[in-house]
Amino acid sequence: MSDHAYSAAERTAIYRAIGERRDMRHFAGGTVAPELLGRLLAAAHQAPSVGLMQPWRFIRITRRELRGRIQALVEEERVRTAEALGERADEFMKLKVEGISDCAEVLVAALMDNREPHIFGRRTLPEMDLASLACAIQNMWLAARAEGLGLGWVSLFDPQALGALLGMPAGAKPVAVLCLGPVTEFYAQPMLVQENWAEERPLSDMLFENQWGERP
């Protein structure tokens, strides 16, 4: 064991948050105390980022009418997604894919504008800005689970329409509508597994040695 390791209880807590984090779409209303919201945003802001670019921007939605307009955009895209799915359309329409109206807080996570000058780590892989933003959201997701709050990542929207609605400058791009707040209970498994939409595959399917497809 490394001298730098956390205590056994702390390690258990870290792995517990990772294992019990769920994408939540059912919320119990309520509120998130300002200090707690501040802790979650600070957790997001401590994420790693390519070239220390910190490309994340968060817009807290506090106007109820604006929340409704965001939900309308998600609903439009939900219908378009169902159409694109073809034979699974009806099954998809039965899934709950967002909790915008019943969550305590809605945050829109976006990539900043003017990203082109940032080439450290992005010259060949420009999408590393998005990877960095995803790290920030994951930090918030895990911290929220530890605090007993649910968080759901909604990506069913037209980014141009949402960017325009929130007054984003050209080049900025919304990536997630985050639904955050108290829940009655956390799903025991990913909701898409519970609803028989998808199956989880084991780690062993994803792990190769030396060459793609070669099993350890």
Binding site for ligand FMN (CB under 6 A): 22-23, 25, 97-98, 153-156, 190, 192
- As measured in angstroms, the least distance from the Cβ of 211 to ligand FMN is 28
Closest residue to ligand FMN, based on beta-carbon distance: 190
Residue closer to ligand FMN by CB (options 27, 153) is: 153
Residue closer to ligand FMN by CB (options 8, 203) is: 203
- As measured in angstroms, the least distance from the Cβ of 66 to ligand FMN is 19
- As measured in angstroms, the least distance from the Cβ of 144 to ligand FMN is 12
- As measured in angstroms, the least distance from the Cβ of 64 to ligand FMN is 21
According to DSSP, the β-strands at 150-154 and 56-61 are: unpaired
Residue closer to ligand FMN by CB (options 182, 190) is: 190
Residue closer to ligand FMN by CB (options 61, 192) is: 192
Comparing CA positions, the residue from 149, 152, 122 lying closest to residue 137 is: 152
